[in-house]
Amino acid sequence: MSTKNIKKSSDGEAPKKRKISAVSILHYYKLIFRSILFILAIIWYVYNRYNDITINIHNSIDVTINMNWAVLVIDIIYIIEMMLRLFPSKLESPGCQKQFKGNYKPTGETDVVLHDNHAVVIVALIWIVLNGIIGALYMTDVIDEGILWLVCLLYGICDMICILFFCPFQTWFLKNKCCASCRIYNWDFAMMFTPLFFIPGIMTWSLLALAMVIMIRWEITVWLYPERFSENTNQYLACANCSEKLCVHKKQLISFRKSLISYADATIKRILQR
């Protein structure tokens, strides 16, 4: 009877396979759901454009009714999600939960380390300029309200991609180790609904207002209780206490990408040598 060699860890025990966490699974569900919502919105938009219906809720009663139903569904979905963000939850990422007092676990250190405050200003300015350009296109009638809604929904998908796969803010600007230590985690909804600033109305501005409340509350908490946001003072942010473990999946994806690149390079070299 043959015995398979089992690679053991430094403590003599066989390494355990990491199962995807409940929080991570929920992120994947959100990605799928937001993608479906985006696709349905595109179909709705193309249908209206094909039938020469102006996507502007101020122009016609019939369009207003159609627009309101679509907007109302999106409103309800995201208002519920944002309301839940205002309270502690085990089904949310530690990245947004570190603001709550119950998740502050003192390390004994008093030196609060937040390296990315300058980068936060840069990110904010870039986002304002980007959406300013989109707003200018809308104000000059290059795009309509339907496109602004599609941009919002696309931002929602990009938000989940940042969490699950690759985050340009983390890699290029903030340099934080992971989502758990992200300085701007709760900016997500405010960033998502920024284009709605250009569409006055109860449904649009209610979404943006609630998103801004979440962001402002976050920033006030950072200012009043910075120790909650620093890994040096809050052991809740330590890798050992992380309930998300998204970094494991990201590292696997990076390793897989490097393997594909190496394989492609080797294949190209073999072809050129023939």
pTM: 0.82
* Residue 108 per-residue DSSP state: S
Helices marked H in the chain — which ranges?
22-50, 61-85, 94-97, 117-139, 145-164, 168, 188-192, 202-224, 246-273
Which residues face 106 on adjacent strands? 234
Residue type, 125: L
> pLDDT tens across 64-106, in order?
445 567 677 888 889 999 999 999 998 889 999 999 999 999 9
Taking the C-alpha atoms of residue 18 and residue 15, their distance in angstroms, rounded to an integer, is 9
Q: Which two tokens stand for residue 6?
A: 């089992």
Least confident of 53-67, 141-155, 168-182, 196-210: 53-67
Phi first, then psi, for residue 234 (nearest 5°) are -125, 105
Quote the pLDDT of residue 101. Answer: 95
Phi first, then psi, for residue 150 (nearest 5°) are -65, -35
